[in-house]
Every structure is written in structure tokens, then in C-alpha cells.
Amino acid sequence: MNLTLRIWRQTGPDAPGALTRYQVSGISPEMSFLEMLDTLNEELILTGEQPIAFDHDCREGICGACGMVINGQAHGPERTTTCQLHMRHFRDGDTIDVEPWRAAAFPVVKDLVVDRSAFDRIIGSGGYITAPTGSAPEAHATPVPKEAADLAFEHAECIGCGACVAACPNGSAMLFTAAKVVHLNALPQGAPERATRTRSMVATMDAEGFGGCTNTGECATACPKGIPLSGISLLNRDFLRRA
């Protein structure tokens, strides 16, 4: 495949950025989107140009590090992570626009890399269970109802990629925060800190500059892990009850 890429280049957080045009050829439809960018970067390095900076780690759809806006969609045309997006979803001769996540709370670090440490601070303000450490407890010491376990697992799938924020017209982190709150609040082990966790994580989310939720639902549509929009309702319920 031969492609034209228009990629956001920005040398630093305060530098002006712009879409820069590149041509790539010999791209296999079986390559992942990141492998296609690797191919371009190898060419840029050989010609003495700065390679394009982008985040990645596992390349298996589990770490949440990769993420970019491809042709206006968070993670591109498929509901998956950018590392799991394959070039067969594009056509030979296509022009593809590639930009970083666009959100006030995710400032651009360089090119396609954004600072998502705001997510870490939300988790740090309550995304844990305080319990004495020691040897592992008996598996059945704390019975967990099946319904609660399913709810917790469903929300624990969030990988913190940030696509929900990038897709939201308000730059809201409600789906991410809901996933982190619900997966702990649903469990008996999370119950003692349910009120403080909910209040604290919502307060941190607001303080980090994420926008408010207006129920557009773009977040759940873009989420590669299928975190349901109903999680936001559960978060709001807990917040109103406990606030």
C-alpha cells in the first residue's frame, strides 16, 4: 500500500504544531498502525530527520499507552487500540490524518505524545482498597456475589488509554473515572471506602480540568474495552448518595 500521511508535529509543549505531510510506500495490509509508523520513522532516521514521537508499550491492546486520533476518530476506524488497528482497514492511496489526543487536561508533550498523568492523579486519590497486607487470604474468605463480581470485572477492563476523553466534545473523563470507581465500589472489599473514594476521585477529576458530562455517549462508542455508559450512571448514583 502507498499512503499519504498528514501527521501532527510539535517539538514541545509550548511550541506551535502543524500537520506535516509524508509519503509511505510498501506498507503491508497486515501491519499494525504502529508498525506503519515504525516504517516511516526508520525512513526519517535514515534521512537525518527527527522520528515521530508516539507512545506505545505492550502493542497487545492491554497497557493503554498507545493512542492517537486517526482521521478524526480516537484510535481510528475500528473499536480497538491503535496498536491493534491494522492497515487492512485503509485503502491503497488513502490520505490519513494523525493527531494527538485533544483535551485540555492532556497537554501535548511532543508530536503524538500527550501527558496523561491526570489519570494517575485521579487513581491516586481513591482508586485503591486500603487493607492490611500479609499472606494471601483464603479465596472464599470474602464471598463476592456473582452479579457484583461481573460488574467489577466489566469495569476493571479499563486500560486508561484516554480515548474516552479524546472522543468527548467536552473532554470529560467521566467514563474513565466511572470505570475506576465502579470496579472497586462494586466489591465488598471496596465498600468501607465507597463514599470517600467516590467524592475524592470526582473532586480530583474536576480539579484536573476535565470537562463535564453532557451524555453525548461518544466516550463509550470510542472505548476499546467496551466500558458501558451505564457506569457513569452508577458513579453519579454513588456520588449523589454519598455526597
Chain positions contacting ligand SF4, by CB under 6 A: 158-164, 175-176, 179, 222-225, 227
CB of 167 to ligand SF4, least distance (A): 8
Nearer residue to ligand FES within complex by CB, 63 or 195:
63
Binding partner of residue 227 among ligand SF4, ligand FES, none, CB under 5 to 8 Å per kind?
ligand SF4
Q: Which partner, ligand FES, ligand SF4, none, binds residue 66 by CB below 5 to 8 Å per kind?
A: ligand FES
Beta pairing partners, 231: none
Give the CA distances from residue 42 to residues 36, 127, 231, in Å, rounded to whole numbers and listed in that order: 10, 40, 42
Residue 164, SS3 per DSSP = helix
Q: How far is the CB of 88 from ligand FES (least distance, A)?
A: 18
The entry of ligand FES, ligand SF4, none near residue 15 (CB within 5 to 8 angstroms by kind) is none
Binding partner at 225 among ligand FES, ligand SF4, none, C-beta below 5 to 8 Å by kind: ligand SF4
Per DSSP, 87 falls in state: G
Instruction: Supply the minimum distance, in Å, between the C-beta of residue 157 and ligand SF4.
Output: 7
CB 82 within 8 A of CB 63: no
Q: How far is CA 190 from the centre of its chain?
A: 24
Joined grid coordinates for residue 163: 480515548
CB of 225 to ligand SF4, least distance (A): 4
DSSP H helices, 81-215, are 117-124, 146-156, 163-167, 174-185, 194-207
